[in-house]
Structure 1
Amino acid sequence: MPPMDESNLSAAYGRVRAFTEQLCEPLEIEDYMLQTAVEASPPKWHLAHVSWFFETFLLKPFLAGYQEFHPHFDHLFNSYYEQTEAGFWPRPQRGLLSRPTVAEVYAYRRHVDDAMARLLGECPAEHQATVQTRLEIGLNHEQQHQELLITDIKYNLAYNPLRPAYRADLAVAPAQDPVPLTFTTFEGGVHSFGAPEPTRHEHGDQDQSAARGFAYDNEFPRHQRLLEPFRLADRLVTNAEYQAFIDDGGYRHPGLWLSDGWARINSEGWQAPLYWEKLDGVWHETTLGGRRPLNPAEPVCHLSYFEAEAYARWAGRRLPTEFEWEHAAAGRPVDGHFVDDGRLHPTPAGAGSLQQLFGDCWEWTASAYLPYPRYRAVEGALGEYNGKFMSGQMVLRGGSCATSRNHARATYRNFFYPHERWQFNGIRLAEDLA
């Protein structure tokens, strides 16, 4: 690998770190430590955790003489890495920590940023390849937490009966009727899936060359699978279409639901997607811009896998597998509505084929989150990033309106438990060819 380009790496680091703090600018100080669900962490914790990541995996092992900002932050702000010495504070109790203060957390970020600038300028030649690789992982990791910041802030604010807005100035798409639903046909055959596998360094890290492009270890190795012929919807399912499912009693018919899904909607009392509520007989939706009437043409979002699967069954179709989705998306430009656009809400589709593959909503697939053939996690604590979660979760593809555009790609595999719906999760239908 050629020597590190310090200026480019520093610029990328600065951009990503600055955007995280930009996302927090609309918050009041009281918002920073709010945690209203186990899966939704306080903004203060996100700000500290991503700094902990750089400190743990880059500064401590590779910057000579590095001094920790606080001796116990490695315990408070570790998320789930069991192979680190300090352990971690329980996830459900992150919102119970009034200290360190928000000001101290921002000071921690400055401390880490200053040390990272020294590391990028002083890194010995024998460590440059590993530092570059870990830095790229760290930047992508922070982008993931930027998305979680947005969705967690939305969940936390929507818990309030006042339905306060995160940003009252967010653009609102004009209400309109959805474009007709059409499908694109794909022939069967053997196709390749996944990202090209990287080389590995002495610390077990994976080398992501610029030509190859970044990918997480769960996207490796590239391999082949047989697809049967299928058809894929040209756009996401809309609010109007999902409302028809509700109006037809979709939440009351056990024959539409997987057993775990039927148990979940009854135990939780679900009758509509998360953030929907009916006021004076009219459906409304809580957004990051506050509560507003439902736009029938916008993609339905904040659905669990159970709801997506039940809707597809009601519609006489099914969810695509992750491989059908990737085959359809492969080679297409990463176009769509992302966090970069500043809308922070899915946008209606126009006429045309295979729209909204990227951005707007993560798309539930029918595929369980499992390793690819010959998958091998990296050694050490970084190997816990993805591999240890390959049980009991489902794959989503495509990115959402809270995802960074340069973070999305056709091979990206997101994953959540089937009952979770606080992310911008939506539906794309598929069907078999007779």
Structure 2
Amino acid sequence: MKNTVKWSSVALAVAMGNGLIATQAVAQGEGFVEGASATLESRTLYFNRDFRDPGQTNQNGSVSRGEEAATGFRLNFQSGYTQGPVGLGADVLALAGIKLDSSGGHNGKLNMLPTDSSGDTVAEYAEIRGAVKANIAGDTVLRYGVHLTENPVINYEDARLLPNHYFGYSITNTSIDGLLVEAGRMTDRGEMGMSSQREGAFDGVEDQNVDYLGGTYEFADNLSASLYTSKAEDLWKRHFAGIAHTADLANDMSLTTDLSYYKTSDDSLAGSNSGMGYDNDAASLAFSLGAGFHDFTVAYQHMSGDAGFEYFDSGIYLANSIQVLDFNAKDERSWQARYDYDFEGMGIPGLTFMTRYVKGNNIDTAPGVSDTRWERDTDIRYTVQRGFMQGVDLVWRNATVRQAIGSGDIDENRLIASYTWNLL
């Protein structure tokens, strides 16, 4: 879920999803079983990352390259609601991962598969989590247990084999037409092995609390805005504001404008003592021109404050947060150029292509010293349209990163094959 240029689509999807839940609850006749749904998703991922430094070694051998392959399964059961003014329900999320290949000293470097105490990758792993929920008057949903939370201040990670997830409680309300309001507290983050893409603020911290409150309002079909606030215990306080607008132009063209802004203030003892904790202002502005089967995007992103933009999941709703980098270092400024094409325009439905280039500069690495970096991505996706493989989704993702900071230079390829069965 790293493509965040059009952040509003995620927020609106959440609003629509909660609206659907509310609609189902109003239909009192469906009930706990009759209103249930279940899906089983299979995802096979081959992940290869070349760190372009063949001289590096450790006790397990070369660390210049990470290479692993695995298959993951996600079973997602969502019940309907019992009849009455307060409908009750329960959900179950079951996750399992199976190692296909991880050897030769290249394992444990991609945050994809867990390792044991000896550094060897485990052959399989699994987890089951659940949640209870209540629907009040058809427009308010209370939930306690596992969450796959998606909003600008706390957002689950699903970029690799299996998703991470949160455990806590939340409330959502859609009583006003076009408005989604939500609040909650997430108390820990389920890593599901090492499926998380990031090493973040929750890592190694037990009972870490994150409180959030916010919402999205759809003024019209082409205009929406979001406001959120959150507090990560002993880390930071964070506020978000965003607005998205799509203007219809002549000749079936459209122009979408996305503006996002984060304000983060330090709330940690270490940051208060050092003055170099989490204080940051982050903003991005993206323009996307749609012309038939073509999309052209340009974006600018700016960091300021005493530190870079730190976070603990994939939920950074900024234009230049992409496949590998987020261009979120202290004082960093970055520019993006992106092109998308849907091959349905050439008579090949289901095939899409994306390429982008982001350049960052003005990175504050030391007093009086600044640095630059860049990333180039290519994404080719095909969804089989017919035959016995109909619905199979095939993706090739390639990334090239050149930088002197962080993890250094990277050449990366991900091959992904996935399929979803609708069980109920």
Q: Which has the higher helix share?
A: 1
TM-score interval w.r.t. the shorter chain? under 0.3
With normalisation by structure 1, the TM-score equals 0.24
RCO comparison, higher one (Cα < 8 Å, 6+): 1
With normalisation by structure 2, the TM-score equals 0.24
Q: Which has the higher strand share?
A: 2
